[in-house]
């Protein structure tokens, strides 16, 4: 193992993991191996947290189902827009979306068949009461409320969701590629039927930067796990570990690549890298990387 890797290992004080495609396997479960490895991090003085586009309130409930409620110190939700400290109950919100984005989104999507949704506390609100919106509310264990959002124009929120059938969403995404960047909101596709609308300055990496400043931690003291393009910045900007099932562009900027989410990728990496099972790590050199950082295979 290279000296740089040893130094990085000693520096890590916080680990953040994406949820879908990363922490959860294809059955939407946290495996026993991964759960056990996360539980052992505290013995090394390392905090564990979640970095997701979901509402922190939703993740707080789900942690109990995953068996991680006692081992999770932080939940960074809304792709960096909010951080819930599970130890103190403190919630920090940054770079929120202006309600003025609502009429602008409607104008930009005139002629398309879609719905708009929003998380508020432990509720999910949508302009149209349909199956997809109710399914989102149910999956987050939230109450569903139909709302025309007219009362939010002069307020701020974590994010808005554009919801549409996959084929219609394909057309919506293509349409946005023809539009100039909006000063009010930025979009990215997070699921086949979902387009997220957030503050134009917001990303997981930017949210992490503000969180680290608040916690008085250095960038090199953070390790991140992710798989998709909304994880790109946080994988590139910190000690990033990409999942084998991840986007090739994410893997290209990662410090390490671990096994897939269906092969205990997080658990295997944590056990080997931090010696949680008293095993010596075997990280092979990657000749394709200029900085010669290794990959876990």
CA distances from 34 to 37, 38, 156, 271 (A): 5, 6, 36, 9
Reported as a pLDDT band with limits 50, 70 and 90, residue 190 is confident
Distance CA 162, CA 168 (A): 11
For the chain, what is the domain count?
2
Residue 200 above 90 pLDDT?
Answer: yes
Same domain flag for 141 and 194: yes
Give the pLDDT band of residue 204 (cuts 50, 70, 90): confident
Q: What is the 3-state secondary structure (H, E, C) of the chain?
A: CCHHHHHHHHHCCEEEECHHHHHCCCCCCCCHHHHHHHHHHHHHCCEEEEECCCCHHHHHHHHHHHCCCCCCCEEEEHHHCEEEECCCCCEEECCCEECCHHHHHHHHCCCCCCEEEEEECCEEEECCCCHHHHHHHHHCCCEEEECCCHHHCCCEECCEEEECCHHHHHHHHHHHCCCCCCCCCEEEEEECCEEEEECCCCCHHHHHHHHHHHHCCCHHHEEEEECCHHHHHHHHHCEEEEECCCCHHHHHHCCEEECCCCCCHHHHHHHHHHCCCCCCCCCECCCCCCCCCCECC
The pLDDT tens digits for 261-282 are 999 999 999 999 999 986 444 3
Enclosing domain of residue 248: 3-94+203-274
Query: From the CA atom positions of the chain, what is the Rg in Å?
Result: 19
The CATH number of the domain holding residue 187 is 3.30.1240.10
- The last residue of one of the domains, among 168, 198, 228, is 198
Last residue of a domain, one of 169, 198, 227: 198
CATH number for the domain including 216? 3.40.50.1000
Same domain for 24 and 171, yes or no, is no
> What does the pLDDT look like over 158-189, one tens digit per residue?
999 999 999 999 999 999 999 999 999 999 99
Q: Are strands 194-198 and 160-163 parallel, antiparallel or unpaired?
A: antiparallel
Is residue 290, in this structure, part of any structural domain at all?
no
User: Do 104 and 61 lie in a common domain?
Assistant: no
pLDDT at residue 230 in the model: 86
Same domain, 49 and 135: no
Average pLDDT, the chain: 90
Q: What is the pLDDT of residues 26-70, one digit of tens each?
A: 999 999 999 999 999 999 999 999 999 889 999 999 999 999 999
* Contact call for residues 195 and 115 (beta carbons, < 8 A): no
Sequence-ordered list of residues with C-beta below 8 angstroms from that of 233, at least 6 positions apart, any chain: 203, 204, 205, 206
Q: Among residues 292, 289, 216, 215, which one has the least CA distance to residue 252?
A: 289
Band of the pLDDT at 283, cuts 50, 70, 90?
very low
| Shared domain check, 120 and 81 | no
Same domain, yes or no, for 82 and 224?
yes
Cα separation of 154 and 104, whole Å? 13
Digit-coded pLDDT (tens) for 85-104:
999 999 988 899 999 999 99
Q: Is 175 found in the same domain as 38?
A: no
Same domain as 237, residue 182 = no
Dihedral sign (CA 274, 212, 19, 45): positive
153 and 108 fall within a common domain: yes
Residue 125 within any structural domain of the chain? yes
CB count, 10 Å around CB of 1? 14
What is the reported pLDDT for 8? 60
């Amino acid at each position: 193992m290279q000296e740089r890797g040893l130094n990085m290992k000693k520096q890590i004080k916080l680990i953040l993991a994406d949820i879908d495609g990363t922490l959860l396997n294809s059955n939407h479960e946290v495996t026993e191996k991964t759960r056990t490895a996360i539980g052992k991090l505290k013995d090394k003085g390392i905090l564990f947290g979640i970095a997701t586009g979901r509402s922190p309130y939703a993740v707080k409930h789900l942690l109990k189902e995953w068996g991680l409620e006692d081992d999770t110190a932080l939940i960074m939700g809304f792709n960096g827009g909010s951080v819930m400290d599970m130890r103190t109950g403190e919630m920090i919100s940054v770079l929120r979306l202006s309600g003025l984005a609502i009429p602008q989104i409607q104008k930009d999507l005139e002629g398309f068949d879609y719905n708009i949704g929003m998380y508020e506390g432990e509720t999910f609100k949508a302009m149209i009461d349909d199956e997809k919106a109710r399914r989102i509310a149910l999956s987050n264990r939230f109450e569903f409320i139909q709302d025309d959002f007219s009362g939010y124009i002069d307020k701020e929120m974590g994010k808005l969701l554009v919801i549409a059938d996959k084929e219609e969403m394909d057309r919506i995404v293509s349409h946005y590629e023809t539009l100039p960047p909006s000063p009010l909101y930025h979009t990215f596709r997070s699921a086949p039927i979902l387009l997220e609308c957030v503050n134009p300055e917001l990303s997981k990496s930017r949210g992490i930067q503000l969180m680290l400043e608040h916690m008085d931690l250095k960038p090199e003291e953070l390790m991140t796990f992710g798989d998709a393009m909304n994880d790109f910045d946080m994988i590139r900007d910190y000690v990033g570990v990409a999942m084998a099932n991840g986007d090739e562009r994410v893997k290209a900027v990662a410090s390490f690549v671990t096994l897939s989410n269906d092969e205990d990728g997080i658990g295997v990496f944590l056990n080997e890298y931090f010696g949680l099972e008293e095993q010596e790590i075997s990280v092979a050199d990657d000749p394709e990387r200029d900085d010669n950082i290794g990959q876990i295979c």
